[in-house]
Amino acid sequence: MLSSVYKLLWISCALPDKNGKTSGRPKFKGKHYYNSFSYPQLSNTNIVKNANGRYCINLPKIGLVPFVYNRSIPRGFKVKTGTVIREADGWYISLTIEDKTVALEVAEIQPTKENSWMY
């Protein structure tokens, strides 16, 4: 799959557009370009204790990763996503939690003539 994407990129960089200009060769990002990646489908069951009694989070494709569990997840809340972030002094994980009891409010804004910035 990736080889077909690379092949398409190299072919398209040589072909001119409707103005006769080429896009140039593709520039690929290095391994240190991205500082974070997300797991969109984590749950409360991914947080476990290992044999030594240390808290770990089970990340797909990586496995059990120990972490400092300094703030417990309140009852009724559900872990939605986890973002692993690389900082200068190490790796961190940020968990996004959701509470179903909080009502979701959508504010509908109606523009008025006084607030309009267009004339």
Contacts of 53 by beta carbon, 8 Å cutoff, 6+ apart: none
> Whole-prediction pTM value?
0.59
Residue 97 backbone phi and psi in degrees, to 5: -115, 160
pLDDT tens track, the chain, 119 positions: 567 877 877 777 777 777 877 777 777 778 788 899 999 888 888 888 888 889 999 888 888 888 888 888 888 898 899 999 988 888 888 999 988 887 778 888 877 766 555 55
